[in-house]
Amino acid sequence: MKYFYTYSITNIITSMQYIGKRQSMLKPVDDIGIKYFSSSRDSEFMEDQRENPRHYKYEVIKTFSSAKEQAEHEILLHEKYDVGKNPMFYNKAKQTSAKFDRTGLKRTAKSKDEQSKRMTGKKYSKERVAKSKAGQVKAWKDPIIRERILKTLRSDEYIENMRRLKTGLKKTAEQKENSSKAAYARWARSKNQKE
């Protein structure tokens, strides 16, 4: 039998907390704080749990019959306590309906460099590329996400970065033709929308 539950981990010395969800084949009381210690990416928090287990209190908040109910409860708790920004939580991101809201999570230059090295030259299967494109199309249809993307694309910082990247680059004949077609298509769409 699979168990779905939400849980909290409290540092009894500092009163800081972590709220999460878990699916396990073990009963929650036999799992959290015994076999499982959270999915946090905060290495100090995880290390401190290993080194000072008596400093932590592990609680099962609620059990559920489905992963959907469990996720909804975690979203409710994350929203209630604003765990992505709240300094009294180890959580670095807030669970939302589709994914994590990473507000409050600041990436270091080192982590950005490491990701860049991992991704440079990486090849993806056609299926993975198609799935990614489908996700982008779906996201673009969401007016909130579309507005965030457009806000970024229109920002002075983004425009300046793109200008610097493109300075001195020579376009091929094919690139010039594609740019021309794209510009004409944008113009035609805007003209049709005005009519």
At 125 the pLDDT is: 85
At 100 the pLDDT is: 52
Judge contact between 94 and 82, C-beta under 8 A.
yes
Residue 138 within any structural domain of the chain: yes
Query: Is 7 found in the same domain as 93?
Result: yes
Number of folded domains in the chain?
Answer: 2
The DSSP secondary-structure symbol of 169 reads: P
Residues of the chain with pLDDT under 70: 97-106, 194-195
CA-based Rg of the chain, rounded to a whole angstrom? Answer: 23
At 111 the pLDDT is: 80
Which CATH number goes with the domain that contains 25? 3.40.1440.10
Q: What is the residue-averaged pLDDT of the chain?
A: 85
- Range(s) of the domain holding residue 140: 123-169
Query: Is 55 found in the same domain as 97?
Result: yes
Return contacts of 60-64, CB within 8 angstroms, 24+ apart. Answer: 60/5, 60/6, 60/7, 60/28, 60/29, 60/32, 61/5, 61/6, 61/7, 61/8, 61/19, 62/5, 62/6, 63/3, 63/4, 63/5, 63/28, 64/4, 64/5, 64/6
